[in-house]
């Protein structure tokens, strides 16, 4: 494996200055805005995150306002973005930052790393972009750039590979331009050194890239083998009574913890079985009709769902009955059924 070029920053920074995208978190840069944006971008495409970032900043403009909010309000603003543990961790971290650091993010990699939901990548991004520290932020984009530059034949999913690139990059950080260097590496991976066939003709590192020189760009990086997702089949019941629909809150831990959902159960139920399930909950079903099928993909799991709309003669207190489900933080997994409810 080749070494990273010693003049990596000198080659990359002028390109970044000319080609950087105008993103909302690159305006009015503060540690808080950098931190929130990096948490959002952990599992979300940039285009999808833009609107959410702006709405989140409007609702919670600083650490103290986020810490003071209740968790359900935070989840509601996050609704639709997915991976809701990120929102919970932001909320918990904000409360810790207020309690331990006076409402200001700590300007230290290890202290940042100790916050809930913050790993090496996010700590490095905040430390370098917000505080100008020589701390690399090595995500999939940066790993891809480094693997192609060096013709790294090892699986980039291996922790040792990430650690080796973090160490190598740290030695190349230019004093006074740490944040720009981190952002430039990310930008290159996101816009030029992309998966599949990269746009090498546009790359400022083309003469230093081992993979490009060998015309083996598609050989790198070496990716970990993906495990097949587990499939669960579920039946969702839109239980309606007197203009209201039933919701229930998920358990405090586990998948979609504490989010609101339409009552559902494992397996694909027939109309008769769905009515019997509603009856077992004390809903006294009066009529039933189908309300669509849906598939939702989590990281390691797929939900395959069918739905039934059931008019109920009773509204048991085991559920929350509401005329406006949009006021509750309902996961994207139930979007099909929420849209069904919104058109009533």
The residues, ordered by sequence, that sit 6+ positions from 167 with a Cβ below 8 Å of its Cβ are none
Question: Residue 296: helix, strand or coil by DSSP?
Answer: strand
- Mean pLDDT confidence for 230-243: 97
Query: 247 pairs with which residues across the strands?
Result: 320
Task: Please write the tens of the pLDDT for every residue from 142-196.
Answer: 999 999 999 999 999 999 999 999 999 999 999 999 999 999 999 999 999 999 8
Catalytic one among 6, 38, 71, 272?
38
How much of the chain, in percent, has pLDDT values that exceed 90?
Answer: 89
Residue 311 three-state SS: strand
Sorted by sequence, the CB contacts under 8 Å of residue 191 that are 6+ apart come out as 19, 21, 199
Residue 141 and residue 121 share a domain: yes
The stretch 18-37 carries a mean pLDDT of 96
**How large is the average pLDDT for residues 310-321?**
96
Relative to beta strand 264-266, strand 285-297 is unpaired
The answer to whether residues 213 and 99 belong to one domain is yes
DSSP 252: S
Find the largest Cα–Cα distance for the chain. 74
The mean of the pLDDT values for the chain is 95
Q: What mean pLDDT comes out for the span 259-284?
A: 97
Alpha-carbon distances, residue 128 vs 35, 49, 120, 175, 177 (angstroms): 11, 21, 12, 11, 9
CA dist., res. 4 & res. 107, Å (int): 28
Q: Is 131 helix (H, G, I), strand (E, B) or coil?
A: helix
Q: Is the peptide bond before 145 cis (omega within 30 degrees of 0)?
A: no
The count of other CB atoms within 10 Å of the CB of residue 57 is: 18
- Tokens standing for residue 63: 């650490």
Helices (H), 192-270: 210-213
314 band by pLDDT with thresholds 50, 70 and 90? very high
Same domain, 36 and 78: yes
Q: What is the pLDDT of residue 145?
A: 97
Nearest CA-CA partner of 16 in 188, 176, 149, 148: 188
Neighbours of 128 (CB within 10 A): 26
Full domain range(s) for residue 266? 230-342
Q: Are residues 204 and 239 in the same domain?
A: no
CB atoms within 10 A of CB 21: 10
- d(C-alpha 155, C-alpha 223), whole Å: 5
Q: What is the pLDDT of residue 342?
A: 59
Q: Given a cut of 90, is residue 263 above it in pLDDT?
A: yes
Which of 219, 244, 271 marks a domain boundary? 219
Q: Are the CB atoms for 173 and 134 separated by under 8 Å?
A: yes
Q: Are residues 265 and 333 in the same domain?
A: yes
pLDDT for the residue 343: 44
288: Cβ–Cβ under 8 A, 6 or more apart, which residues? 271, 274, 275, 308, 309, 310, 311
CB 66 within 8 A of CB 60: yes
Structure tokens given for 40: 């959002």
Q: Taking Cα atoms as reference points, which of 307, 296, 302 lies closest to residue 331?
A: 296
Say yes or no: 152 and 263 in one domain.
no
Considering the domain architecture, whether residues 186 and 252 belong to the same structural domain is answered as no
Last residue of a domain, one of 188, 219, 250: 219
Per DSSP, the three-state class of 244 is: strand
For 93-113, the pLDDT digits (tens) are 999 999 999 999 999 999 999
Same domain, 187 and 52: yes
Domain of 66, CATH number, reads: 1.10.340.30
Question: Is 38 annotated as catalytic?
Answer: yes
Could you give the CA distance from residue 188 to residue 142 in angstroms, rounded to a whole number?
A: 8
In CATH, what number is assigned to the domain containing residue 272? 3.90.79.10
Number of domains forming the structure of the chain: 2
How far CA 235 is from CA of 38, 239, 301, 335, in Å, comes to 35, 12, 16, 14
φ, ψ for residue 46, nearest 5 deg: -55, -45
């Amino acid at each position: 494996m080749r070494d990273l070029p010693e003049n990596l920053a000198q080659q990359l920074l002028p390109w970044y200055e000319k080609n950087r995208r105008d993103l909302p978190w690159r305006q009015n840069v503060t540690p808080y805005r950098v931190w929130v944006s990096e948490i959002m971008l952990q599992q979300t495409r940039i285009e999808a995150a833009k609107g959410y970032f702006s709405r989140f900043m409007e609702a919670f403009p600083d650490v103290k306002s986020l810490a003071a909010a209740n968790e359900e309000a935070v989840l509601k603003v996050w609704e639709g973005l997915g991976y809701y543990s990120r929102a919970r961790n932001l909320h918990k971290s904000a409360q810790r930052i207020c309690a331990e650091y006076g409402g200001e993010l700590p300007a230290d990699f290890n202290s940042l790393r100790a916050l809930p939901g913050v790993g090496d990548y996010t700590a490095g991004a905040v430390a370098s972009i917000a505080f100008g520290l020589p701390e690399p932020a090595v995500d999939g984009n940066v790993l891809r750039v480094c693997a192609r530059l060096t013709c790294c034949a090892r699986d980039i999913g291996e922790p040792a590979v990430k650690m080796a690139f973090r160490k190598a990059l740290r030695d190349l950080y230019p004093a006074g331009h740490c944040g720009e260097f981190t952002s430039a590496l990310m930008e290159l991976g996101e816009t030029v050194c992309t998966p599949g066939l990269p746009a090498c003709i546009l790359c400022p590192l083309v003469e230093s890239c081992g993979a490009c020189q060998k015309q083996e760009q598609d050989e790198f990086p070496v990716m970990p083998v993906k495990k097949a997702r587990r499939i669960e089949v579920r039946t969702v019941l839109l239980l309606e009574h007197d203009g209201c629909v039933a919701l229930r809150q998920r358990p405090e831990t586990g998948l979609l913890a504490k989010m609101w959902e339409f009552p559902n159960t494992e397996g694909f139920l027939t109309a008769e079985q769905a009515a019997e399930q509603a009856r077992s909950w004390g809903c006294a079903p009066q009529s039933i009709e189908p309300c669509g099928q849906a598939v939702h993909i989590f990281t390691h799991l797929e939900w395959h769902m069918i739905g039934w709309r059931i008019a109920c003669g009773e509204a048991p207190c085991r559920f929350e009955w509401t005329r406006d489900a949009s006021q509750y933080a309902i996961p994207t997994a139930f979007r099909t059924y929420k849209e069904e409810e919104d058109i009533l």
